């Protein structure tokens, strides 16, 4: 596995560990996954296109929203910022 300068979150590490131990790629049903957005929309009784996911990790929340056809809203916190380490905008 080749790692770049990106931080590995648990959403990457845990499935990787499962794949290594079992020899099978797990199906992610939480973030980032279209399954998560479909579940939320079903629980709310609305179409997934009317659901918005707000989060401070654009890689996780934005990918989850986009995968499920929902709206992704990114916010910055003390641990995240609008700019990537190279100075470019990290949200698109």
Predicted pLDDT at 4: 39
- Phi, psi of 40, rounded to the nearest 5 degrees: -60, -45
What span, in angstroms and rounded, lies between the C-alpha atoms of 8 and 69? 25
What span, in angstroms and rounded, lies between the C-alpha atoms of 24 and 3? 21
Predicted pLDDT at 63: 81
In tens digits, the chain (92 residues) has pLDDT values of 343 344 555 567 888 888 999 999 887 777 777 888 888 899 999 999 999 988 887 777 888 888 888 998 888 776 666 655 555 455 44
Helix, strand, or coil (residue 22): helix
> In the beta sheet, which residues pair with residue 18?
none
């Amino acid at each position: 596995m080749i790692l770049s300068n990106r931080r590995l979150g648990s959403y990457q590490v845990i499935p990787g560990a499962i794949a290594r131990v079992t020899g099978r790629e797990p199906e992610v049903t939480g973030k980032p996954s279209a399954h998560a957005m479909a579940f939320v929309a079903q629980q709310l009784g609305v179409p997934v296109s009317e659901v918005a996911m707000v989060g401070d990790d654009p890689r996780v929340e934005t990918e989850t929203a986009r995968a499920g056809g929902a709206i992704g809203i990114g916010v910055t916190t003390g641990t995240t910022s609008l700019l990537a380490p190279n100075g470019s905008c990290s949200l698109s």
